[in-house]
Amino acid sequence: MYPSYETRSKEIAYEYKDSVHVPPHLHEAIEVVYVTKGSVELGVGQNLYHLNEGDLGVVFPNVIHHYQVFSKGENKAIYLFIAPSLFTGFLDDFKLYCPENPVIAKQNLQRDIVSAVKMLTQIEDENSIMGHAYAQIILAYVFTTVKLVEKDSVTENNLITNAVSYVAANFRESISLEKMARDLGVSKYVLSRMFAKTFHCNFCKYINKTRLNYVVSYLENTNISITELCLECGFDSQRTFNRVFKEEYKMTPREYRKRLTIINRA
């Protein structure tokens, strides 16, 4: 997976999964990660933060971050994605600030917060009043526990950061390597090498992965038509969209949505 920008339509969503390497990306949601087994490394800015079993990490909206896994064996975590719109009184804080250290160690983590994280993975409708209450408990604890600093003090102003931000803002449009390099003021060869070294894929594949990540989020959470999604996410034709989607997921977008419907009804 090579996401640069994730968009989720649900106010609260979660994934309970194996921790894997995830390249630099950003999204509109507040991301909370709770390690249930093994460990994971959370990278923010130039720093890499280690999370052991029982530790909790939090990333504010539009902060570029990544994950790495170094430990052998099973590494699992709960990943929560919470919309900032649930906390209207703190919207300015989310825009301007982020945690100086995004990790709350197990020994400093209250049991009620762990319970709230786990309960959000068990209730049928995360966006219910109960789901909102658990999310607010978690974020209220974060605001009173971690030290907040200005985002500019922890984010990098380098080519990787600029590239991720550029794709996040423009992936719905037609993007070429030449235009992106020109807009960022670098050589297209330097930009191409950066994609290969950092994201382990070429420019076109990175853009397509970003678009597919956007599409899948909407396939999973909305009833927007597949044709509309194709046009919205930046593919130049439905044929290209279907081909790229099938190469990645081994099924068509329609089959993917149908499969989700069957799973949700089970």
pLDDT per residue over 226-251, tens digit each?
999 888 889 988 999 999 999 988 99
Across 1-14, average pLDDT: 62
Residue 142 maps to which CATH number? 2.60.120.10
Are residues 112 and 220 part of one domain?
A: no
Residue that is last in its domain, among 104, 128, 153: 153
Residue that is last in its domain, among 126, 153, 180: 153
Directed axis angle between helix 203-221 and helix 253-265, to 10°? Answer: 40
Are residues 149 and 26 part of one domain?
A: yes
pLDDT given at position 2: 39
pLDDT at 265 over 90: no
pLDDT at 4 over 60: no
pLDDT at 1 over 50: no
Are residues 94 and 211 part of one domain?
A: no
pLDDT at 175 over 70: yes
User: Lowest-pLDDT range, 18-22, 116-120, 132-136?
Assistant: 18-22
Are residues 149 and 50 part of one domain?
A: yes
Across 36-42, average pLDDT: 97
Residue that is last in its domain, among 127, 153, 179: 153
Are residues 203 and 83 part of one domain?
A: no
Are residues 210 and 106 part of one domain?
A: no
pLDDT at 3 over 70: no
Are residues 145 and 97 part of one domain?
A: yes
Are residues 223 and 149 part of one domain?
A: no
Are residues 191 and 125 part of one domain?
A: no
pLDDT at 183 over 80: yes
Count other Cβ atoms within 10 Å, centred on residue 22: 18
Across 11-32, average pLDDT: 87
Single-letter code of the amino acid located at 63: V
Are residues 115 and 21 part of one domain?
A: yes
pLDDT tens for 71-96 read 989 999 999 999 998 888 888 899 89
Are residues 167 and 250 part of one domain?
A: yes
By C-alpha distance, which of 218, 215, 221 is closest to 238? 215
- The structure's pTM equals 0.74
By C-alpha distance, which of 20, 25, 29, 34 is closest to 5? 25
Indicate the average pLDDT of the chain.
88
pLDDT at 177 over 60: yes
Domains: count for the chain: 2
Are residues 142 and 45 part of one domain?
A: yes
Residue 231 maps to which CATH number? 1.10.10.60
Nearest 5 degrees, angle CA 21-CA 163-CA 148? 70
What is the extent of the structural domain holding 165?
Answer: 159-265
